[in-house]
Structure 1
């Protein structure tokens, strides 16, 4: 099976800073692909470069065998790639319902998809008419993911979804993400190794702007010496 998304020799500079030096990996057409690495390794820059928010040069991004390198972000999104940034990007002054309507192509959420979102994230239905700023951190994250899946997507990029969340919320989110991934592949950037290893089917590790490891998540979880070397994790 060909890869859904292929990154080859991506290099991204932000102003005078050279952030990505040589990033290459392939995301399969199913499951959760996890991008791991220490703080500042280049994980968020990789997602933003895929989405065209920052332009890699040189390097290439191929999606469904099409070269999308250099396309505008809106054009990339129209090809079925959704992006949930680390800051979630929700509109706090709008209601939960209005946030979802804005993410819907036709202006009206499809009933079946909306019912599925309520099933995955009950808080969305509970706070439907409330302003998004009134939600807790975990509920805002759920809303951000709900916006990403309110329309059919081919791939979802999610950046640090568990940051600052309570363990009980993280567990609930892991269950929801596992359900989402049954229908839509996810490229996940995450610092919480327990969360990442619970969800991930494949993994790549970035260090100083380079991919230094790529393989099956199960193999990475079993290799504690490799975890310690690449992520400073201890048993």
Structure 2
């Protein structure tokens, strides 16, 4: 598999605490990658390091062979990276339609039909699940080369969550994007070829296929 973007010996510090301990993390193109772990394992920090919203204290971020460690988050976004954090992922003062217009091709319908009757509503008035659908729509419509999503199903009903994983899988399978999901447990219905990395205390503990991390 071709590596789209990667962390190389990445270290991130928050004050005196080190959240990533020399993490090597390759992210293949046209593949769904799951970062698995409990709170504090480093999965969110790994996404932020790839996105450029936290600085590395050591190591590198390499994108298609180029060192992009010094690029700001907005510069990485312009190059084709879309990051959906777990919270504060929409512009609350803008309407749903205005949020969508920031990344969507002109006239593109929202990927969630539930948002259509809400297009004129300010995003700040939406429920938690509606905000999550709006934030995910940005990633689904952006035509990005790298899509990073922290806890995609947060606040979503089970049926909507299942639909969401199908839409994210299509980004990898149909659009060829490198899709990285930070999860507490392996979600069902992941496409064939999904790569799972389990993080523990800021280090890579294990890697494998989804079934290897799913208990009966």
TM-score by length of 1: 0.82
Partner deviation per Cα, 1:148-190 (whole Å, 9 max, x = no partner): 3433211100001212333222222223222333313311101
Structure 2 counterpart of 1:10: 10
1:170 aligns with 2:161: yes
Q: Which has the higher helix share?
A: 1
Aligned pair partner of 2:194 in 189, 201, 205: 201
Moved more, 94-103 or 12-21: 94-103
Partner of 2:94: 94
Assess if the C-alpha contact under 8 Å between 1:12 and 1:18 holds in 2: yes
Q: Is the 8 A contact 1:3 1:64 kept in 2?
A: yes
Say whether the 8 Å CA contact 1:90–1:99 is kept in structure 2. Answer: yes
Indicate yes or no: 2:138 matched with 1:147: yes
Residue number in structure 2 paired with 1:55: 55
Tell me, yes or no, if the aligned pair for 2:132 and 2:155 is still in contact at 8 Å.
no
Seen in structure 2, the aligned counterparts of structure 1 residues 213 and 192 have a Cα distance that, compared at 3 Å, is closer
Partner of 2:187, secondary structure, is helix
Aligned to 1:230: none
Aligned position for 1:130? 121
What SS is found at the alignment partner of 1:152? coil
**1:59-108 CA deviation, whole Å, 9 max, x = no partner?**
1111111111121111111110100001042122321011122336xxxx
Structure 1 or 2, whichever has the larger Rg, is 1
Structure 1 unmatched ranges of 5 or more: 228-232
Give structure 2 stretches of 5+ with no counterpart: none
Aligned residues: 213
- Counterpart contact for 2:34–2:195, Cα < 8 Å: yes
C-alpha RMSD of matched pairs (Å): 2.0
Asked whether 1:210 is paired with 2:203, we answer yes
* Structure showing the higher strand proportion among its residues: 2
**CA-to-aligned-CA distance 1:21-50 (integer Å, 9 cap, x gap):** 121121111121111011110111111111
What TM-score, normalized by structure 2, do the two folds share? 0.89
Q: Distance in 2 between matches of 1:55 and 1:161?
A: 24
For the 8 Å contact 2:82–2:147, the answer to whether it is kept is yes
CA contact (8 A) 2:37 2:185 kept: no
- Which of 168-177 and 43-52 deviates more? 168-177
